Amino acid sequence: MSDAPTLPVTFRPGRTRAVLLTAAVALFVVITVIALLLEKLGPGERLSFVFTAALLAGVLALLARVKVVADESGVTVVNIAGKRHLDWAEIVQVNLRPGDPWVFLNLTDGTSLPALGIQPGIAKQQAIADARALRSLVESHSPGDLP
């Protein structure tokens, strides 16, 4: 297909990622500064504040790591806590219906895999364009199109 992007291509929610990483840094800095400014806290309590800040920032960083990478071998979906590589032939359909929080990949085994790397939250038009591009790639790499 002519509208398919050149491989390799990475889809990720850029604005959402920027917001999450900025929030992670800000949260860590604010909580750490508060821990240092509170005079009645002992060293252990200060350390627990900093540890809690690092834990919360880590959760936000995990949320920001989501992406979908398409290359010649297939599609790699990186979600919050997992990563899965799919061969092109395993993907039947790419879905992003109105109201969906992210793209869903329908697979040949009858299951559906959420692909959080394409989500319409903050940048709806970009997510729609990314879903169309991924759909175009899947269609152009479908086994039916092979000689």
pLDDT (tens digit per residue) in 40-67: 999 999 999 999 999 999 999 999 999 9
Taking a C-beta distance cutoff of 8 angstroms, is the pair 134, 119 a contact? no
Q: What is the pTM of this model?
A: 0.84
CB atoms closer than 10 angstroms to residue 11: 25
Position of tokens 């909580």?
31
CB atoms closer than 10 angstroms to residue 88: 20
144 pLDDT band (50/70/90 cuts)? low
pLDDT (tens digit per residue) in 83-117: 999 999 999 999 999 999 999 999 999 999 999 99
b/e map 101-110, b = 16+ CB within 10 Å: ebbbbbeeee
Taking the C-alpha atoms of residue 130 and residue 134, their distance in angstroms, rounded to an integer, is 6
